[in-house]
Amino acid sequence: MKPKTLFDKIWDSHVVKSIKDGPDVLYIDRHYIHEVTSPQAFNGLKERGIGVFRPGKTIATADHNIPTKDQHLAIRDLLSRTQVERLSENCQEYGIELFGLNHPKNGIVHVIGPELGYTLPGMTIVCGDSHTSTHGAFGTIAFGIGTSEVEMVLATQCILQPKPKKMRITLDGELHRGVTSKDIIMYIISEISASGATGYFVEYCGSAIRNLSMEARMTICNMSIEMGARGGLIAPDETTFEYLKKLPSIPGVNDIKSTIEEWKKLGSDQDAVFDKDLKFDAGSIKPMITYGTNPGMGMAIDDSIPISDSNGNEASSSFMKSLDYMGFKPGMKLLGHPVDYVFIGSCTNGRIEDFRAFAQIIRGRQKADNITALIVPGSKKVEEQMVAEGLTDLYNNAGFEVRQPGCSSCLAMNEDKIPQGKYAISTSNRNFEGRQGPGSRTLLASPLTAAAAAITGRITDPREFINDENKVKK
């Protein structure tokens, strides 16, 4: 038999039908929905007079639009409230399980899916949200879709999808101190640009990937979309199985042992051919930061802003427009530049490990006076864990305020907006113009880099706080 990639194995086993010269009819195992991209899809069903084909395979949450303070009160913004209510009505009407606002298991869709055991190896997973790629960390084909496609899945549990090409990214070597999975993926994107993987689905391999926890793998897969890839996946291994074994329950799986034996078969064959193969060395990665308005515009934190754009064109108009927006100049260094806001959260870095990392640096220190910090857990479960581990107290004592879960400042649909012209170090995934509020200036970075800035009030190399034994400097 011809050797196959993991991507091919999962994809091919989910094709209901291949249309000649057209897309494949792809069967979807798990469908996540949220309040922002689903209402028009439900309207579509109503207009057609049809129901939801397999309601048990769709899971809903409210996350994008919700406040992170006083969640027990009614949402103040009328449109947002209507959207959240519409989701509840639709879920009720069609029998879809909803982890909505104030549900004890509520949270960002890409954080709760894995937590609740709904994301499992070998699945096809879609959601009307581009960061669905996060779930690829479990060895799944997971990708974002538009609302028309949400409607297709609700109506038939299938979508029409052309098969993407395959790319393998291998990362070997040892990571240096102070370098996290966020830095890995920001480094890769800065190397290949914000459109470098468009048309591809990525498989991440190599020893440096194998050594990562599930949380760290999710961060990497999450940002695959920021280089244009439809998604990214990592073959399941012992780390994956350990994570799954520790979950309180896995819906639909009765005998975890024999299921793991099945999951063990999920991997690319040795001689499988990829359309593109890239290799990077983990040892060359430093803590990263972005200086522009797309995630490809990133650099090592102690570097200077390049004087030409990624194509080597001398300061193209798009490149200059982006630097102007940020208030930066080509050739400038960012270390020491003042920061106004720090946001830790989102489906990229809103998991318990991220809050532990942040705590690593703030323990025994105080927040800088010029910093407004938004500390937003990715889910209720993360929020509870933070309390249980004493992190919430630690944060409060250091002058921070821990909010309630949600997407928050990652896309600023709620009140959590960064004001015009202000600089925010953000652990989220997009530094687009106005992403965190009109006129906001986003600098993407890891939780460690965010913590260092929260303490000093300036862009700071987190390695200053961490010594060679990976211990935090007092």
Residue 221 lies near other proteins (rule: CB under 8 A) = no
- In angstroms, the CA 465 to CA 454 distance is 12
For residue 317 the two structure tokens come to: 């108009």
**Complex with other proteins: residue 60 or 402, whichever CB lies closer:** 60
Residue 119 lies near other proteins (rule: CB under 8 A) = no
Partner whose binding site includes residue 157, from ligand SF4, other proteins, none (CB under 5 to 8 Å by kind): other proteins
* Interacting residues with other proteins between 18 and 47 (CB under 8 A): 19, 21-23, 25, 27, 36-37, 39-40, 43-44
Residue 64 lies near ligand SF4 (rule: CB under 6 A) = yes
Residue 115 lies near ligand SF4 (rule: CB under 6 A) = no
**Complex with ligand SF4: residue 196 or 378, whichever CB lies closer:** 378
Contact characters 216-235, ligand SF4, x per CB under 6 A:
--------------------
199, 205, 208, 213: CA torsion to nearest 10: 90
**Complex with ligand SF4: residue 374 or 407, whichever CB lies closer:** 407
**Complex with other proteins: residue 107 or 164, whichever CB lies closer:** 164
> Exposed, middle or buried: residue 364 (CB in 10 Å: 0-12, 13-18, 19+)?
exposed
Residue 215 lies near ligand SF4 (rule: CB under 6 A) = no
Q: Give the side-chain half-sphere CA count within 13 A for 395.
A: 25
Q: Which stretch binds other proteins (CB under 8 A): 174-182, 298-306, 311-319, 344-352?
A: 311-319
Residue 346 lies near ligand SF4 (rule: CB under 6 A) = yes
Partner whose binding site includes residue 217, from other proteins, ligand SF4, none (CB under 5 to 8 Å by kind): none
Residue 131 lies near ligand SF4 (rule: CB under 6 A) = yes
In 24-74, the DSSP E strands lie at 24-27, 30-34, 58-61
Report the DSSP pairing between strands 200-205 and 165-172.
parallel
Partner whose binding site includes residue 347, from ligand SF4, other proteins, none (CB under 5 to 8 Å by kind): ligand SF4
Nearest to 68 by CA among 348, 355, 402: 402
Report the DSSP pairing between strands 423-426 and 341-344.
parallel
Contact of 183 with 286, CB cutoff 8 Å: yes
**Complex with ligand SF4: residue 185 or 394, whichever CB lies closer:** 185
Task: Pick the binder of ligand SF4 from 26, 96, 108, 418 (CB under 6 A).
Answer: 108
**Complex with other proteins: residue 83 or 456, whichever CB lies closer:** 83
- In angstroms, the CA 120 to CA 124 distance is 9
Please state whether 365 falls in left (phi above 0), alpha (psi between -120 and 50) or beta: beta
* Interacting residues with other proteins between 131 and 160 (CB under 8 A): 132, 144-149, 151-152, 155-158, 160
Residue 411 lies near other proteins (rule: CB under 8 A) = yes
CA distances from 358 to 100, 299, 392 (A): 28, 21, 11
Contact of 427 with 445, CB cutoff 8 Å: yes
Distance of CA 279 to the CA centre of its chain: 22
Nearest to 59 by CA among 13, 128, 11, 122: 128
Contact of 469 with 377, CB cutoff 8 Å: no
SS3 state of residue 351:
coil
Partner whose binding site includes residue 392, from ligand SF4, other proteins, none (CB under 5 to 8 Å by kind): none
- In angstroms, the CA 189 to CA 225 distance is 10
Q: Which stretch binds other proteins (CB under 8 A): 99-107, 214-222, 316-324, 353-361?
A: 316-324
* Interacting residues with other proteins between 73 and 92 (CB under 8 A): 77, 79-80, 82-83, 86
Partner whose binding site includes residue 108, from other proteins, ligand SF4, none (CB under 5 to 8 Å by kind): ligand SF4
Binding site for ligand SF4 (CB under 6 A): 63-64, 108-110, 129, 131, 346-347, 407, 410-411, 428-429
